[in-house]
Amino acid sequence: MSLHLGSIAPDFEQDSTHGRLSYHTWLGSSWGVLFSHPKDFTPVCTTELGAAAKLKGEFDKRNVKIAALSVDPLDSHEKWIADIEETQSTKLNYPIFADADRTISNKYDMIHPEANDTLTVRSVFVVDPNKKIRAIITYPASTGRNFDEILRLIDSLQLTDSHKVATPVNWKDGDDVVIVPALQDPAELAQRFPKGYKVVRPYLRVTPQPNR
């Protein structure tokens, strides 16, 4: 089954460095970011896991629970965590799933055989509190992801869920946004955007971020 934006994130139960977890139950009413790693004791993954640990406070602020996985077993993860903590100067403060039986990798289609038969690619799934997949990112093993970009993506998803706006190129929290083209009613525009908006083109209307 291929997963699309809007699909329900497949539920699973799997061992992790925080015990055996049922994903949907563990998420509760939080958002989730689930990200895969090709292999334990690899250089790029080590830096990614350290960076994510340092940003956990930022994910917490946004009501997001982060979790990683690779297809290596739990005892390997435990040994690797010691290395990550030492080399990246941080505490690994979120679970890493031990997906040795590929329960998660198969459900989320994280193994791309044309890239590698056995290892997961660098997948990221953003899941909302209704358990819907809201974003999917896929990188090759050779390229580390940008976790600031994942935070930026979540900021955009959370803002655009609650206001009739979209976020333009390179937007970051606090920057101007664009009004969705479907919103045309002058009274609603005035009520939603009391700071006003600039009509660059009829389809391109720019306004200050409404929740600021």
The catalytic residue positions are 45
Q: Does 32 bind ligand BEZ (CB under 6 A)?
A: no
Which of 53, 141 has the CB closer to ligand BEZ?
Answer: 141
- Counting residues that bind ligand BEZ (by CB under 6 A) gives 8
Three-class DSSP labels, the chain: CCCCCCCECCCCEECEECECEEHHHHHCCCEEEEEECCCCCCHHHHHHHHHHHHCHHHHHHCCEEEEEEECCCHHHHHHHHHHHHHHHCCCCCCCEEECCCCHHHHHCCCCCCCCCCCCCCEEEEEECCCCEEEEEEEECCCCCCCHHHHHHHHHHHHHHHHCCEECCCCCCCCCCEEECCCCCCHHHHHHHCCCCCEEEECCEEEECCCCC
Select from 7, 18, 24, 44 the one that contacts ligand BEZ (CB under 6 A): 44
Least Cβ distance, residue 126 to ligand BEZ (angstroms)? 21
* Residues in 51-80 that interact with ligand BEZ by CB under 6 A: none
Q: Does 96 bind ligand BEZ (CB under 6 A)?
A: no
Cα first-last separation, the chain: 41
Least Cβ distance, residue 43 to ligand BEZ (angstroms)? 4
Which of 9, 49 has the CB closer to ligand BEZ?
Answer: 49
Least Cβ distance, residue 14 to ligand BEZ (angstroms)? 21
Return the range that interacts with ligand BEZ (CB under 6 A); candidates 40-48, 63-71, 92-100, 177-185: 40-48
Select from 2, 6, 29, 43 the one that contacts ligand BEZ (CB under 6 A): 43
Which of 140, 168 has the CB closer to ligand BEZ?
Answer: 140
x/- track of binding to ligand BEZ for residues 128-167 (CB under 6 A):
-------------xx-------------------------
Burial status of residue 38 (CB atoms within 10 A of its CB: 0-12, 13-18, 19 or more): buried
Q: Does 45 bind ligand BEZ (CB under 6 A)?
A: yes
Least Cβ distance, residue 148 to ligand BEZ (angstroms)? 19
Q: Does 10 bind ligand BEZ (CB under 6 A)?
A: no
Q: In angstroms, what CA-CA distances link 69 with 42, 61, 83, 171, 200?
A: 13, 22, 16, 29, 45
Binding site for ligand BEZ (CB under 6 A): 38-39, 42-45, 141-142
